[in-house]
Structure 1
Amino acid sequence: MSSATSFSELTTLQVGGPITRLVTATTQRDLVDLATAAWSSDDPWLALGGGSNLLVGDDGFDGTVIRVATKGIEVLPRDGGTDDIARLRVQAGEVWDDLVAWTVEHGYSGLEALSGIPGSVGAAPVQNIGAYGQELASTLVAIEFLDEGAERPRRMTAEELELGYRTSVLKQGLRGIVVSVELELHDTASELAVLGEAPGQPIAYAQLAGALHAQLGDRVPIARVRETVLALRASKGMVLDPDDLDSVSAGSFFTNPIVTERTARAMPADAPRWYLEPDEPDEVTPLATIASGTPLDAFLALQAELEASDLETPAAAAGPGALVKLSAAWLIEHSGISRGFALPGSRAAISSKHTLALTNRGGASADELAQLARFVQQRVQAEFGIVLRPEPVLVGVEL
């Protein structure tokens, strides 16, 4: 327990005030016991994993912070399934990228494009993490979840979590703590004798395909995919690095907005946009390809230039009435905010590598980051009429 620790020591943004009471759970039993004790009080509580998707105010948190540091990766027995499917149960406190490295080392495919994402495993389903054509939703089977006030965890299936674009019922207000996650991955071991090395899932993101010198749909060894994704993320300051100020961030600070087709039609002609299937909200198709006959090759070239936008792969043609996803990065840059921008006298700045990350350039306060985030929102709204929504969880901060 500690009364002197502050969120600035426990979050990747390195901001946030003091914590009144910090407790750390290293086992599942610890986690249940510490949560039960916290819930027996009327004081507020907060679960903390890797601190990579959190912006806490400068006043700190007057309550109990439960730091989830449980460890363990378990390969579950095969239950009559096919030989090429493996199920894992992973404790919530495992570091996400350590898990990805472990799966690649053991020849399990399905997470390799999610390499380098900071944070803990337990935080991953909260916002349905995704990048470079993969999302957690495609491999998540279930979680163990400890509801606030409950004495033991319950199993929640992926369907019950209502996973969507960077959201879930957990992010929308279901109170409790993720205890573990259950994943279903492709076991490539049976293919090694034929292919000579473990092949990953079909490449589903143009920028990644280009970096791999491959085509969309190609299967590339998972170790090579991981190395390439890590290099791509590092080039954007999206891999934690003590020597890179651009990595002192919460990753992408704003989600790509989803708007009506009517709103999208009012955007400039060169604004990237993607149709969303009404019944498949995470599958997207380039609007330009549908509406104006733009060749797919031209679209893919444009997509490859959209740094850090993390938009998904083009899908089948969308039906009438589909919503449209826009690129937050494009909106920010074209509202007049360039890479490296900072408000006068502020120690918070837009990343020098891409416009989706807000960074702490050294000694910034949570208030300075919030001021910058509000300025970005105001500029984009004034220029395009679009309100950008923050991706990190905000505690004691309002935008």
Structure 2
Amino acid sequence: MKASELPEKGKPKIKHRVSLRPFNTLSVEATAETFIEILEKEDLQTLYREGFFRKFDPFILGGGSNVLFRDNPSRPVLKISLKGIDIVAENDSSVQVRAGAGDVWHDLVEFAVQRGYGGIENLALIPGTVGAAPIQNIGAYGSEIEQVFSSLEFFDVQEGTFRSFTREECHFGYRDSIFKRDLRGRAIVTSVTLNLTKKDHNLITDYYSLTQRLREKGIEDPGIRDIFDAVVFIRKSKLPDPKEIGNAGSFFKNPVIPRDQFKQIQRNHPDIPFFEAAEGYIKVPAGWLIEQCEWKGKKVGKTGTYEHQALVIVNHGSASGKEIYQLAERIQSSVFEKFGIALTPEVNIVG
């Protein structure tokens, strides 16, 4: 589709042969044959009226922090840049905050913390945009977005209408939602609304590294700002800055395995860390599994794993998407051979 095919009013920005390196935190070179930036909700309606969604199945790009371009995408790329943080309702004890899908997630966390709103302080510094947060059901340090989720609005590319989903309708799971399954490729998130607290906050501090950091600071009765600062400190000490070293954060999900399988592994590895999951299942840190396979800090060509966190695959400068993908496959093979556990990528593999 060419820009000339669209009406002038409400015309989205359409470009061709655009480098995607600035739009992914792994800093992988890839080229989008068609690149469309969505700056207003009306842009989506314009594309629908012109038959764009009948002709194409576009790749939806947010902050590019959870994607690996293994090759050039074969589909048009839609960059969602809808922004704006607003308070839509509040009372003495709570507040509803709505943010555009294109807003940076950490900016929303800072917005809340600066105003004393509780609920997302544990999710500080998670890379990416607001729109991607519920799709992935992001989580960290004992907290997940579903715990404070109110609703989201999305554009249905099949119907050409904007729809709203509640928490229940999103079918959240571990790093999962209905948008990664039944509605994959059909829904484009435009905004997200969260329920945050103004008092009587449900502070989550029973995560080992978080508890340890608060203890180091001599904080016995932490507040929202204390938890936020602790999380920021921990993440900066463990994870590389994508502006300095290309990475997509945690490359793999923490596997959830049957308790019987875990007990078998535990006999040979009594120091294996774990977390209780659903009944009969145990969650095991993927980073620990990878480290036991001696991948931590290892460099392979132009890529490798981060020296402080084996779960993070890094680009040392000019690694291709294929090289990073091949390293990920080698890591998966090592973990499966040693533990019988299949690691699943948390990042979205494209191409």
Q: Does the pair score TM above 0.5?
A: yes
Cross-structure match for 1:297:
none
Amino acid at match of 1:269: P
Number of residues paired by the alignment? 332
1:90 equivalent in alignment to 2:92? no
Mapping for residues 2-41 of structure 1, pairs under 5 Å: 2-34=15-47, 37=50, 39-41=52-54
Deviation per CA, 1:197-241: give whole Å up to 9, x if none.
xx77242312112111289x965222232222111111112544x
Q: Greater CA deviation, 224-233 or 157-166?
A: 224-233
Counterpart pick for 2:123 among 106, 111, 114 = 114
Residue 342 of structure 1: CA displacement? 2.5
Counterpart pick for 1:73 among 85, 88, 97 = 85
Bigger strand fraction: 2
Residue 76 of structure 1: CA displacement? 1.4
Cross-structure match for 1:265:
263
Asked if the contact 1:202–1:218 (Cα under 8 Å) also holds between the matched residues in 2, the reply is no
Counterpart pick for 2:338 among 366, 378, 383 = 383
Counterpart pick for 2:70 among 48, 57, 73 = 57
Mapping for residues 223-302 of structure 1, pairs under 5 Å: 223-240=225-242, 242=243, 244-245=244-245, 248-267=246-265, 268-278=269-279
Cross-structure match for 1:298:
none
Asked if the contact 2:273–2:284 (Cα under 8 Å) also holds between the matched residues in 1, the reply is yes
Task: Find the aligned partners of 1:92 and 1:187 in 2 and give their Cα distance.
Answer: 24
Task: Find the aligned partners of 1:152 and 1:379 in 2 and give their Cα distance.
Answer: 46
Counterpart pick for 2:195 among 180, 184, 188 = 184
* Percent of aligned pairs sharing the same letter: 34
Deviation per CA, 1:345-377: give whole Å up to 9, x if none.
x21110111100001000000011001000000
Mapping for residues 332-343 of structure 1, pairs under 5 Å: 332-337=290-295, 339-343=296-300
Mapping for residues 201-216 of structure 1, pairs under 5 Å: 201-213=203-215
Counterpart pick for 1:328 among 265, 270, 286 = 286
Task: Find the aligned partners of 2:209 and 2:297 in 1 and give their Cα distance.
Answer: 23
Task: Find the aligned partners of 1:38 and 1:119 in 2 and give their Cα distance.
Answer: 29
SS at structure 2 position matched to 1:61? coil
Deviation per CA, 1:229-270: give whole Å up to 9, x if none.
111111112544x3x32xx21110011111111111111222
Asked if the contact 1:25–1:31 (Cα under 8 Å) also holds between the matched residues in 2, the reply is yes
Cross-structure match for 2:6:
none
Task: Find the aligned partners of 1:37 and 1:394 in 2 and give their Cα distance.
Answer: 29
Cross-structure match for 2:10:
none
Amino acid at match of 2:303: A
Cross-structure match for 2:323:
368
Residue 69 of structure 1: CA displacement? 0.6
Task: Find the aligned partners of 1:94 and 1:219 in 2 and give their Cα distance.
Answer: 32
Amino acid at match of 2:210: L
Q: Provide the alpha-carbon RMSD of the alignment.
A: 2.1
Task: Find the aligned partners of 2:196 and 2:335 in 1 and give their Cα distance.
Answer: 39
Residue 172 of structure 1: CA displacement? 2.3
SS at structure 2 position matched to 1:155? strand
Asked if the contact 2:53–2:157 (Cα under 8 Å) also holds between the matched residues in 1, the reply is no
Gaps of 5+ in 1: 192-198, 279-321
Q: Greater CA deviation, 218-227 or 36-45?
A: 36-45
Residue 147 of structure 1: CA displacement? 2.0
Gaps of 5+ in 2: 1-13
Deviation per CA, 1:263-300: give whole Å up to 9, x if none.
1111122212222233xxxxxxxxxxxxxxxxxxxxxx
SS at structure 1 position matched to 2:164? strand
Cross-structure match for 1:354:
309
Task: Find the aligned partners of 1:40 and 1:335 in 2 and give their Cα distance.
Answer: 45
Alpha-carbon spacing, 1:211–1:36, altered in 2? closer, same or farther (3 Å): farther
Q: Greater CA deviation, 375-384 or 9-18?
A: 9-18
Task: Find the aligned partners of 2:70 and 2:64 in 1 and give their Cα distance.
Answer: 14
TM-score w.r.t. length of structure 2: 0.89
Alpha-carbon spacing, 1:214–1:84, altered in 2? closer, same or farther (3 Å): farther
Task: Find the aligned partners of 1:19 and 1:150 in 2 and give their Cα distance.
Answer: 26
TM-score w.r.t. length of structure 1: 0.79
Alpha-carbon spacing, 1:254–1:359, altered in 2? closer, same or farther (3 Å): same
SS at structure 2 position matched to 1:75? strand
Amino acid at match of 1:3: H
